[in-house]
Each structure stands twice: as C-alpha cells, then as structure tokens.
C-alpha cells in the first residue's frame, strides 16, 4: 500500500494544531512531512528534496529532516512503531506518563516527540508561542499551569533555553516544577549542569537524532529497547526506534544493517555509560595532531564567564588546519586562554573571538560553518 507524502506546515504560534494530523499518521492513514510554516525557504527545500506529493510506503508515518546548515537535508523515514516505541521508552525511563509542555519547534524531532508522547499518554500538551523566541514569562506561566494538574510534568529544552531560564528567579522556579527536563541537541555546559543539580532542577541529558526518533540515550544510558555499540570508535544505535532509511538517500550506508543506525559521532563506554566525544567529521588535523573540537569546547565551557563555545579548524599553510574558537559570555579572551593553561599548548586556539551570540542551525545546534566564515 502507498500514500502520497503530504507536507505538514507547523505554525510556531499553534503547534498543537497538528495533533489530529499526527494521530492520523500514527494510525497509518497518512504519511506526513513536517515543515516550518514561518520559513518558506526551508519549507520549499524540504518539500522539494523529500519529494512531497509523490508516493511513499504507507508504513512511513513521518519523514523528519535532519538539521544540517548547508546542502540538502536528509529525511529520516519514521514508522508509527518507531515513534510509539520511543515515546513508551521515554515514559518508562522517566517513571511514568505525564503532562508535557512543548517549548521547542515542532517541525524538529525533539518537538514532534513531545506531541507524540502526549498522544500516547492521552493528554493535551500545553504549548508556548515561539514566534518571537523563547519567552521566560510564558514558560513560567505554562509550567505553573501544568503543576496545578497534580500529575507528573515534563518538558524538553535546548541547552540555550535552559541557560536562559536559569538566568532569572522566575525561570528557576518554573524549572523546579518539572519532574524531568529533557535537554539535548547539543552538549550541556558542565557549569550549568552543576548549577541545575544544586538548585534541584532535574535535568536529563539526551542523545539521539531524527534517525532514532529522538533521544534514545538518557544521561549516558540507553532507554528501554535501545542498544548501543562501538565500531572503531563510531557510535552505533539499535532498537525499535531506528528509522527505515532516508527518503532521499535510499541504501545509505548509515542504515546498512537493519535495525541499526551508524552515527557520525565518536564516543566511549565506561561503567555501561556512553560518553559522546564529538563528530567524526569535525576532527581538526593541526600539524599532524588531531583534536576533537568538542573536547576543547567542554574545557572552555568549564571556565567561569563562558556560556557558549564553538571550536573549528580553518585552512593554514603551515599546519594544514589552525584551531580557532568563538565563545559567548562575560569572560575576556585573556581569561579564556588562562583557563585553558592545563591543556597542551598545541590545543590552544590560535585566534579567539567573543560574540554576542553563536549562530545556530536548529534548536541549540551551533552553525560551525557560520563560525568558520567569521575567521
């Protein structure tokens, strides 16, 4: 049986308006391609690249795009089984179903899964309007409304949203109301994680992607049904939530083994806990020495006064690639370099820029190519 793939425009002012459409998709009645209603250029790119309006296997409930900054995004083909197994596993890990607050763009997998989990739990999620960004007062009001239900309450945030909320008493008190706050999409600032713990804010770090129907490793541990293995340092994820390949890249090597997804990330497992060290394609080769930029970024984020960091390599006639970095926060460039004194000298940035904010490609995802252009 075949469906025609339908574009599903999602309005940031009313993302829960698509709940009925998602219910149809999970029931096998439609195959949908979520697109941002407020970004016509992105919507056009997705509808064209994912062949909207053309036939697709009826088993595919959603085609969810990856959030690459350049080139053609890939579309993960997610079945109802993928989505439901992920939602069920999340609730098992967290201790039960509950009320959800949608505070992320719902055309991305993290936001979509808030809606799917709510459907599975049989509850109507609350939402906040993201048309003009993440507003703390709106977030706090919604958190208070959920708390009054007396049920378990959850939300998902990007690391930058968590940091913004923790900048004010209003935001902190709102965060403390949730039984769990899923935080993913990018590495969490270790200073922020420690502060959240001290303030009794229950942050659960997540690792996953569109290809895995969202986060499938929480606080370094696989959620029920998820399998994790390493092959030559590359992280492979398996389980019932793994997508059935890409819509626009059939036969892609990442899905060479059924039920498994070969990520582009490196990592290691210690005491049954997965640590992600960074993307394999982001490694910087400087003078024959290789640096995983995320390692230096974590070192920068541990420095007081640094709230965001991005490390990239740029062409250098002598070294091949020179290590450079951009960051946000009140720390001066001198304070940042001093804070990195414990590292080998070759790992220190050859150039450092302080920015008002880091460019993004999606919720919490820094645009590395945008950073490269700054240098």
For 39-49, the pLDDT digits (tens) are: 999 999 999 99
d(CA 144, CA 120): 23
Residue 69: predicted pLDDT: 47
Mean pLDDT within 15-33: 97
| Residue 4 CA to its chain's centroid (Å) | 28
b/e burial code for range 111-125 (CB count within 10 A of at least 16 → b): bbbbbbbbbbbeeeb
Asked, colleague to colleague, whether 2-276 and 283-374 share their fold, the answer is no
| Mean pLDDT value across residues 3-19 | 97
User: Is CATH 3.20.20.140 what the domain over 2-276 is classified as, yes or no?
Assistant: no
CB-CB contact of 355 with 366 (8 Å): no
Of the candidates 207, 228, 240, 223, the one whose C-alpha atom is nearest the C-alpha of residue 92 is 223
Mean pLDDT lowest among 41-50, 67-76, 281-290, 366-375: 67-76
* Domain 283-374 fold: GMP Synthetase; Chain A, domain 3 (3.30.300)
- Residue pLDDT, tens place only, 49-82: 999 999 999 999 999 998 654 568 999 999 999 9
Look at the block and give the residue holding tokens 């960091």.
309
Cα–Cα distance measured from residue 205 to residue 218, given in angstroms and rounded to the nearest whole number:
6
Supply the pTM of this predicted model: 0.88
- Domain spans of the chain? 2-276, 283-374
Is 38 a residue whose pLDDT tops 50? Answer: yes
Mean predicted confidence (pLDDT) in 326-340: 96
- Give the mean model confidence (pLDDT) for residues 304-308: 93
Q: Name residue, tokens 């899964």.
A: 113
Token pair 């659960």 in the structure block, residue: 204
Instruction: Please give the biggest Cα pair distance in the chain.
Output: 63
**What is the tens place of the pLDDT at every residue in 214-223?**
999 999 999 9
| The CA-based dihedral angle spanning residues 216, 102, 279, 80, taken in that order and rounded to the nearest 10 degrees | 40
Q: How far apart are CA 88 and CA 96, in angstroms?
A: 9
Element containing residue 339 per DSSP (H, E) = helix 333-339
**Cα 50 to Cα 324: distance, rounded to the nearest angstrom:** 36
């Amino acid at each position: 049986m075949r469906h025609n793939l339908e574009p599903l425009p999602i309005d940031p002012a009313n993302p829960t308006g698509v709940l009925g459409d998602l219910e149809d998709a999970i029931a096998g009645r439609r195959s949908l391609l979520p697109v941002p209603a407020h970004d016509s250029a992105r919507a056009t790119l997705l509808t064209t690249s994912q062949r909207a309006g053309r036939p697709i296997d009826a088993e595919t409930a959603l085609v969810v795009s990856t959030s690459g900054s350049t080139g053609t995004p890939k579309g993960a083909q997610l079945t109802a089984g993928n989505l439901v197994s992920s939602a069920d596993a999340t609730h098992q890990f967290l201790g039960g179903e509950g009320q959800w607050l949608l505070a992320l763009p719902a055309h991305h997998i993290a936001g979509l899964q808030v809606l799917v989990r709510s459907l599975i739990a049989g509850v109507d999620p609350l939402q906040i309007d993201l048309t003009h960004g993440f507003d703390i007062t709106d977030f706090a009001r919604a958190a208070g409304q959920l708390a009054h239900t007396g049920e378990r309450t959850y939300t998902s945030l990007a690391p930058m949203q968590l940091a913004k909320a923790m900048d004010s008493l209003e935001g902190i008190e709102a965060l403390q109301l949730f039984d769990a706050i899923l935080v993913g999409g990018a590495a969490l600032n270790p200073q922020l994680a420690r502060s959240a713990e001290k303030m009794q804010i229950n942050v659960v770090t997540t690792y996953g992607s569109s290809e895995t129907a969202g986060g499938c490793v929480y606080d370094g541990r696989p959620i029920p049904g998820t399998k994790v293995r390493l092959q030559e340092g590359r992280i492979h994820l398996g389980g019932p939530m793994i997508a059935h390949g890409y819509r626009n890249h059939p036969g892609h090597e990442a899905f060479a083994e059924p039920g498994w997804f070969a990520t582009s990330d490196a990592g290691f497992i210690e005491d049954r806990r997965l640590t992600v060290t960074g993307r394999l394609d982001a490694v910087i080769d400087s003078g024959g020495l290789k640096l995983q930029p995320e390692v230096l970024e974590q070192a920068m984020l541990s420095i007081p006064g640094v709230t965001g960091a991005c490390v990239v390599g740029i062409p250098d006639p002598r070294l091949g690639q020179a290590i450079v970095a951009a960051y946000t926060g009140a720390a001066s460039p001198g304070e940042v370099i001093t804070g990195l004194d414990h590292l080998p000298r070759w790992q220190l940035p050859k150039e450092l820029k302080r920015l008002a904010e880091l460019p993004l490609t999606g919720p919490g995802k820094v645009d590395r190519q945008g950073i490269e252009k700054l240098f």
